[in-house]
Structure 1
Amino acid sequence: MKLVVQVTLLPTPLQEAALTVTLRACNEAATWASQVAFQKNVKKNFALRKLTYEEVRTRWALGSQAAQHVIKKTCDAYATLKANLRAGNLGKPGSRRYRKATDKPIVFRLEGAQPYDDRMLSWQISERRLSIWTLTGRMKDVAFTASPEQLVTLALYRKGESDLFCRDGMWFLNATCEVPQADLNTEPVAFLGVDLGIVNIATTSDGEIMAGRELNRIRTRERGLRAKLQRKNTPSAKRRLKKRRCKEARRAKDINHKIAKHVVAEAERTGRGIALEDLTGIRERVRLRKPQRATHSSWAFAQLGQFIAYKARRAGVPVIYVDPAYTSRTCAQCAHIDKANRVSQAWFACRNCGFVDHADRNSSRNIQARAWQLWRCGVQSTTPVPPGKQRIGTERKRRVTSSDARCASLRPTVSGS
Structure 2
Amino acid sequence: MKLLPTPEQASALEATLYACNRAATYASQVAFAKDLKDRNGLQREVYADLKTTFYLSAQPAVRAVKKVVDAYAALKANLKAGNLGPSTSPRHRKAVSAPIVFRPEAAQPFDDRCLSWQYDAGTVSAWTVSGRMKGIRFTCSPDQLETLVMYRKGESDLVRRGGTWFLIATCDLPDPQVHEPVDWVGVDRGVVNLATTSDGVNYQGRRLSRYRRWQARKRAELQARSTRSATRRLSRRAQKEKRHATQVNHAISKEIVSVAQRTGRGIAVEDLGGLRERVRLRRDQRGTLSSWPFHQLGQHLAYKARRAGVPFLEVDAAYTSQRCPRCGHTERANRPDRDNFQCRRCGLAGPADVVAGVNVRDRARSAWVFVTAPAPSP
Specify the TM-score bucket, using the shorter chain as the normaliser. Answer: over 0.9
From 252, 257, 260, the counterpart of 2:245? 252
Q: What residue ranges of structure 2 are gaps of 5+ in the alignment? A: none
Rounded Cα–Cα distance in structure 1 between residues aligned with 2:228 and 2:84:
34
How far did residue 250 of structure 1 move? 0.9
Match of 2:284 among 291, 300, 304: 291
Q: Structure 1 residues 97, 44: closer, same or farther in 2, change over 3 A?
A: same
Aligned-partner SS, 1:287 = coil
- Cα distance in 1 for partners of 2:337, 2:49 equals 66
1:88 and 2:82 equivalent?
yes
Question: Is it true that 1:180 corresponds to 2:164 in the alignment?
Answer: no
Could you tell me which residue of structure 2 aligns to residue 282 of structure 1?
275
Q: Distance in 2 between matches of 1:364 and 1:219?
A: 26
Alignment partner, residue 300 of structure 1? 293
Quick check: 1:252–1:299 contact (8 Å CA) kept in 2? Answer: no
Of residues 364-373 and 289-298 in structure 1, the stretch that sits farther from structure 2 once superposed is 289-298
Q: Over residues 28-84 of structure 1, what are the superposed CA-to-partner deviations in whole Å (9 max), with x where a residue is unaligned?
A: 111111122222222111221111111111110001110000001111111112222
Structure 2 CA distance for aligned equivalents of residues 340 and 304 of structure 1? 29
1:378–1:396 Cα contact (<8 Å) kept: no
C-alpha change, 1:183 and 1:103, in structure 2 (3 Å) is: same
In the alignment, structure 1 residue 271 sits paired with structure 2 residue 269: no
Supply the distance in 2 between the matched residues of 1:324 and 1:119 (Cα, whole angstroms).
49
Separation in 1 of the partners of 2:289 and 2:110? 39
Question: C-alpha separation between the residues in 2 aligned to 1:233 and 1:100?
Answer: 23
Task: Give the match's secondary structure for 2:371.
Answer: coil
* Bigger mean CA deviation after superposition, 217-226 or 48-57: 217-226
State the Cα distance separating 1:93 from its structure 2 match.
3.6
TM-fit CA distance, 1:232: 4.8
Q: Give 1:130's aligned residue.
A: 124
Match of 1:23 among 17, 21, 25: 17
Partners of 2:230 and 2:51 in 1: how far apart? 43
Asked whether the 8 Å contact 2:187–2:267 carries over to 1, the reply is yes
Tell me the equivalent position of 2:2.
8
* 1:388 match: none
Alignment deviations for residues 236-264 of structure 1 (CA, whole Å, 9 cap, x no partner):
65564444331111111112112222222
Q: Is the 8 A contact 1:122 1:131 kept in 2?
A: yes
- Contact preservation (8 Å) 2:107, 2:157: yes
Moved more, 143-152 or 153-162: 143-152
Is the Cα contact below 8 Å between 2:323 and 2:334 reproduced in 1? yes
**Percent identity, aligned pairs only?**
54
TM-superposed deviation, 1:125 = 3.2
Give the letter aligned to residue 335 of structure 2: R
Q: Is the 8 A contact 2:215 2:237 kept in 1?
A: no
Distance in structure 2 (CA, Å) of the matches to 1:235 and 1:37: 33
Inter-CA distance 237–30: structure 2 relative to 1 (3 Å threshold): closer
Are 2:107 and 1:110 equivalent residues in the alignment? no
Which amino acid in structure 1 is aligned with residue 273 of structure 2? T
Q: 2:208 aligns with which of 203, 208, 215?
A: 215
Shift of 1:293: 2.2
Which of 303, 323, 333 is equivalent to 1:340?
333
Q: In 2, are the aligned partners of 1:192 and 1:272 still within 8 Å (CA)?
A: yes
In structure 1, give the amino acid aligned to 2:110: Y
Normalization by structure 2: what TM-score? 0.92
Q: 1:342 to 1:45 in 2, by over 3 A?
A: same
Check 1:234–1:63 CA distance in 2 against 1; reply closer, same or farther (3 A cut).
closer
Structure-1-length-normalised TM-score: 0.84
Counterpart residue number, 1:140: 134
Q: 1:397–1:199: structure 2 CA closer, same or farther, 3 Å change rule?
A: farther
Partners of 1:24 and 1:234 lie apart in 2 by 27
Deviation at 1:358, TM superposition (A): 1.1
Query: Is residue 116–residue 163 contact of structure 1 (8 Å, CA) maintained in 2?
Result: yes
**2:348 pairs with 1:355:** yes
Partners of 2:375 and 2:104 lie apart in 1 by 49
Give the whole-Å Cα distance in 1 for the aligned partners of 2:94 and 2:39: 24
Pair 1:60-2:54 in alignment: yes
Matched position secondary structure for 1:91:
coil
Stretches of structure 1 that go unaligned for 5 or more consecutive residues are 1-6, 381-394, 399-417
Of residues 240-249 and 40-49 in structure 1, the stretch that sits farther from structure 2 once superposed is 240-249
Match in the other structure for 1:170: 164
Give 1:114 shift. 0.6
8 Å CA contact 2:208–2:245 kept in 1: the answer is: no
Aligned length: 378
1:375 to 360, 368, 374: 368
Which residue number corresponds to residue 44 of structure 2? 50
2:187 alignment partner, SS class: strand
CA distance in structure 1 between the partners assigned to 2:372 and 2:274 by the alignment: 22
| Partner in structure 1 of residue 150 of structure 2 | 156
